[in-house]
A and B are shown apart, each in its own frame.
Chain A
Amino acid sequence: MEFQSVSFNSDEASNCVKECIESIIGGLDYNQNKVNQWTASIVEHSLTQLVKQGKPYKYIVNSAIMQKSGAGLHTANSCYWDTTTDGSCTVRWENRTMYCVVSVFAVAVGL
């Protein structure tokens, strides 16, 4: 039985995440009371969809929602992993009242 070497498909993950964001906050205005459950929903749905792909990966999904009010926001990340098999993708989404930044990190599971 041949083992195929896997690599992280960043485009597929990116589309998956965009759909999750749209379905949860698309068309809504920033609401302090609800933002808590929005971020939680976004990460849970994205994670579920990624795991459904059935690939041999561990995942970390991180999401940040920020109100548009003129403040500056900067994010950075650095990873120590196996560059041939592991990967990440970051999706930046916005509407009239808020920004949403979601990052997915996928780390291959050693077999």
Chain B
Amino acid sequence: MDDFQTAEETTFVVDEVSSIIKESVDAAIGGSTYQHSRVNQWSSSVVENCLGQLTKLGKPFKYIVTCIIMQKNGAGLQTATSCFWDNTTDGSCTVRWENKSMYCIVSVFGLAI
């Protein structure tokens, strides 16, 4: 019984992190239209909100949160990530969100301490 609880508390749970990200993005830019003057504070809000929620989980992890906001203009965007870590304990989660005027891609990487 104790072992099961320990495992829950010390692994990177993708679903949990995914819903944290979606909530943060909706709260920061849900319903907004791309605005060059505001995108700076939007991306900062998204990463700070996510990080705040993640640290509240109280798990023994270091976190890296990245956010990309791109205007919908027909341009192509390709991203890739490669990680050198411990496959048994570390993990990542990426959420792609969009509305009528912009795309938002948020990635969270969790590394066990």
Residues of A within 8 A of B48 (CB): 78
Q: A71 on the interface (CB 8 Å rule)? A: yes
Residues of A within 8 A of B65 (CB): 77-79
A51 — nearest CB in chain B belongs to which residue? Answer: B84
A110 — nearest CB in chain B belongs to which residue? Answer: B113
Residues of A within 8 A of B63 (CB): 79-81
A105 — nearest CB in chain B belongs to which residue? Answer: B64
Q: B6 on the interface (CB 8 Å rule)? A: no
Please tell me if the beta carbons of A64 and B78 are within 8 angstroms of each other in the complex.
yes
A residues apposed to B, CB below 8 Å: 30, 32, 35-36, 38-40, 42-44, 46-47, 50-51, 57-82, 86, 88, 103, 105, 107, 110
Please tell me if the beta carbons of A66 and B111 are within 8 angstroms of each other in the complex.
no
| Candidates A35, A63, A66, A103; contact of B70 at CB < 8 Å | A66
Please tell me if the beta carbons of B55 and A80 are within 8 angstroms of each other in the complex.
yes
Q: B15 on the interface (CB 8 Å rule)? A: no
B residues apposed to A, CB below 8 Å: 34, 36, 39-40, 42-44, 46-48, 50-51, 54-55, 62-86, 90, 92, 107, 109, 111, 113
Known: A30-B76, A103-B66, A105-B109. A78 touches B50 (CB 8 A): yes
Please tell me if the beta carbons of A60 and B70 are within 8 angstroms of each other in the complex.
no
The CA of A81 and the CA of B36, in the complex, are separated in Å by 30
The CA of A107 and the CA of B64, in the complex, are separated in Å by 10
Please tell me if the beta carbons of A63 and B51 are within 8 angstroms of each other in the complex.
no
Known: A72-B34, A72-B71, A74-B69. A60 touches B62 (CB 8 A): no
Residues of A within 8 A of B79 (CB): 39, 62-65
A80 to chain B, nearest CB (A): 4
| Candidates B39, B62, B75, B86; contact of A80 at CB < 8 Å | B62
